[in-house]
Structure 1
Amino acid sequence: MMPFQPRCGSINPKQKAVRRQTPKRQTTIHQTTKHRIMSILLIARQRDMQPYKEEILKLDPNAEVEIWPDVAHRERVTFAVAWKHPEGVLDRYPNLKAVSSLGAGVEHLLRDESIPDGVILTRIVPPSLISDMSDYLVSALLNLVNHTYEFADNQRRAVWEPLLAVPKRSLTVGVMGLGEIGRQCALDIARMGFPVVGLSRTKKEIEG
């Protein structure tokens, strides 16, 4: 039996060595676009909006805030804050996405037909506005039942006339609208001892 002879292949010196090439990693390059600058528009006819701009910049120094009517870049405006603004001007901002009322009322926005379809309407109802309105109504009712205005008039006329307070339970108070402000007013007035009747376009359940 012939011994096993391993065969060795010869290498042709003229043959080029071929390096094993690993497949190239597939790199996906996402085309990026320049960051779009968006700005906030403050618009009102009879109110100084500069303090509002300053407060916004305190929260975000990089924010771009413009005050109507001096708007440098209309195409950048995406959000507007308005209060009794001149009607017919909000369709001049092609990228407008939302408009917020500076207060609880939105009537000035609803009647403005220049606001494009699809623009979101919202409002600002700070807790201080709710409590201030409720305090005003409670004080007005107490002045009414305690004859405060009559006593003040008698004092000016130097007239002394005793007046008995009106029992609070004998005076029913009606609250038209039970939104954020109306709801709190109704609760506070009821806690003072007045019977309260509320009117709302939609069903509301108020505890207390």
Structure 2
Amino acid sequence: MRILLHRADGVTEPWVRDFAELLPEAEVVVWQEGASIAPCDYAVLWMPPEALLAELAQVKAIFLTGAGADAILKYGDALPPVPIIRLGDAGMAIQMAEYVTYFVLRYFRRFDDYEQQARSGTWAQLAQHRKEDFSIGVMGMGVLGMGVIDALLPFGFPVRGWSRSPKQVDGVQCFSGAESLGEFLSGTRVLVCMLPLTPDTHNLLDRARLSLLPQGAYLINVARGGHVAEPDLLALVRSGHIAGAALDVFSEEPLPAAHPFWDEPRIGITPHISALTIRTESIRQMAGKIRALENGEPVADVVDRTRGY
């Protein structure tokens, strides 16, 4: 069995080492542009360059080292008609829940305001937000989205969820479909975006939809930068309609030095770290699925190409 490995960051040695331990029956071949590579049975990659696509012609399945599929589905019909399998949780759900919970509590408890006061030497207690008025809306109710919802529920916030298809979750007010998006947004004080990026969700959070959020709302985006129309968000923050945002993802990454987000103190910036891939857990998951495929067994987390996730 041969596995073709590509890492955009060039760090392949730890992956080769862990595959040797967790799937010793496999030979791992690191892709290098221009190098001659014998046909491989499986591919493990994330953001492959177009030049790599020719090496996928004979693979039985493509494994992604992340939860999203937009970085490979952009190649459309150039991809072979084989299963594309994304990571399940693989340790990402707890990280995402930690990130979102931190920024929710930071905004709710006004820690950003207190930090600003401290820098100016001001000692003053600020009025607290009312928890019953502090509704949190999570867009995207998959494995990662539900991890965030489960983390937030014990704090007693009103939690709302929006998804493409109808869902029922105890303790959560659920909305689904385009027809309910306006109602969902208009009642959401903190909006958490955890959607997959598809043609339907690209620039979904533009000026019109972000303006539906109540005055003083807050945005947390841990999904993809393409969901947010960045100039529209910046304008709404500067106007005061949106109090601020915590952004981990951007339309261009790394975020360019000249991007105006850097100069807006009400927008928190992190470098796409809300949920980092845990290598060993990811390889363990892929090894199990490869063995299942070799035995003709079904596997979970196969990407639906028509939906884009």
Q: What residue is the counterpart of 2:29 in the other structure? A: 66
Q: What residue is the counterpart of 1:171 in the other structure? A: 134
Given the two structures, how large is their TM-score scaled by the length of structure 2? 0.51
Deviations 1:147-166 (A, max 9, x none): 11111121122122211321
Kindly indicate whether the alpha-carbon contact (under 8 Å) linking 2:139 and 2:162 is maintained by their aligned counterparts in 1: yes
Kindly indicate whether the alpha-carbon contact (under 8 Å) linking 2:41 and 2:58 is maintained by their aligned counterparts in 1: yes
Deviation at 1:54, TM superposition (A): 0.8
What is the count of residue pairs matched by the alignment? Answer: 169
Q: What residue is the counterpart of 1:189 in the other structure? A: 152
Q: What residue is the counterpart of 2:64 in the other structure? A: 101
Distance in 2 of aligned mates of 1:136 and 1:198:
18
State the secondary structure of the residue aligned to 2:127: coil
Q: What residue is the counterpart of 2:92 in the other structure? A: 129
State the secondary structure of the residue aligned to 2:116: helix
Distance in 2 of aligned mates of 1:194 and 1:47:
43
Looking at CA atoms only, which structure, 1 or 2, has the larger radius of gyration? 1
Structure 1 unmatched runs, 5+: 1-37
Q: What residue is the counterpart of 2:112 in the other structure? A: 149
Deviations 1:36-79 (A, max 9, x none): xx31111132251221111110123342001222665331x121
Q: What residue is the counterpart of 2:162 in the other structure? A: 199
State the Cα RMSD in Å. Answer: 1.9
Given the two structures, how large is their TM-score scaled by the length of structure 1? 0.74
Kindly indicate whether the alpha-carbon contact (under 8 Å) linking 1:42 and 1:67 is maintained by their aligned counterparts in 2: yes
Deviation at 1:127, TM superposition (A): 4.3
Deviation at 1:86, TM superposition (A): 1.6
Q: What residue is the counterpart of 1:55 in the other structure? A: 18
Kindly indicate whether the alpha-carbon contact (under 8 Å) linking 2:89 and 2:143 is maintained by their aligned counterparts in 1: no
2:79 pairs with one of 115, 124, 128:
115
Deviations 1:67-117 (A, max 9, x none): 222665331x1211111222352233331121121011111122123212x
Distance in 2 of aligned mates of 1:151 and 1:47:
42
Deviation at 1:122, TM superposition (A): 1.0
Identity %: 28
Which structure has more relative contact order (CA 8 Å, sep 6+)? It is: 2
Distance in 1 of aligned mates of 2:51 and 2:74:
10
Structure 2 unmatched runs, 5+: 172-309
2:41 pairs with one of 78, 101, 108:
78
State the secondary structure of the residue aligned to 1:186: helix
Higher helix share: 2
Distance in 1 of aligned mates of 2:17 and 2:110:
45
Kindly indicate whether the alpha-carbon contact (under 8 Å) linking 1:177 and 1:199 is maintained by their aligned counterparts in 2: yes
State the secondary structure of the residue aligned to 1:100: strand
